[in-house]
Every structure is written in structure tokens, then in C-alpha cells.
């Protein structure tokens, strides 16, 4: 019975740690066609904005 409680504590700790890591690393990556120049990125954003506005 004591072994079972220890196992549940270990499993619970691992589960909480795993869920915590999932939330910490929940970053979305946005690709912009390899545009590194700030002006190029702003121009691309403006183009997309104008296309949606039409």
C-alpha cells in the first residue's frame, strides 16, 4: 500500500511537470518568407492589410 502511494506521488509529480512544460513552451512561430529587413516586413504586412480591406 505504501509503495502504491509512492508510485502515485511520483506519477502525479511527473504529470504536473509535463503539463507545466507544455504551457511554458506554448509559443507559436510565425514565418514571413525569410524577410529579415524591417521595411520589407512592414511592406508585406501593409500589402496583406490592403488585400483584406478590399
pLDDT of residue 34: 58
pLDDT of residue 35: 54
Closest CA to 51 of 43, 34, 36: 43
pLDDT of residue 3: 83
pLDDT of residue 9: 92
Q: Kindly list the domain boundaries of the chain, sorted by start residue.
A: 2-53
Higher pLDDT pick, 44 / 26: 44
pLDDT > 60? residue 5: yes
Return mean pLDDT, the chain: 80
pLDDT in tens, 26-36: 666 555 555 56
CB 17 within 8 A of CB 9: no
Report the run of H or E that residue 50 belongs to, with start and end. helix 38-53
Amino acid at each position: 500500500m505504501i509503495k502504491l502511494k509512492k508510485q502515485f506521488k511520483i506519477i502525479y509529480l511527473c504529470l504536473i511537470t509535463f503539463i507545466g512544460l507544455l504551457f511554458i513552451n506554448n509559443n507559436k512561430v510565425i514565418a514571413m518568407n525569410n524577410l529579415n529587413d524591417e521595411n520589407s516586413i512592414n511592406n508585406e504586412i501593409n500589402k496583406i492589410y490592403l488585400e483584406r480591406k478590399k
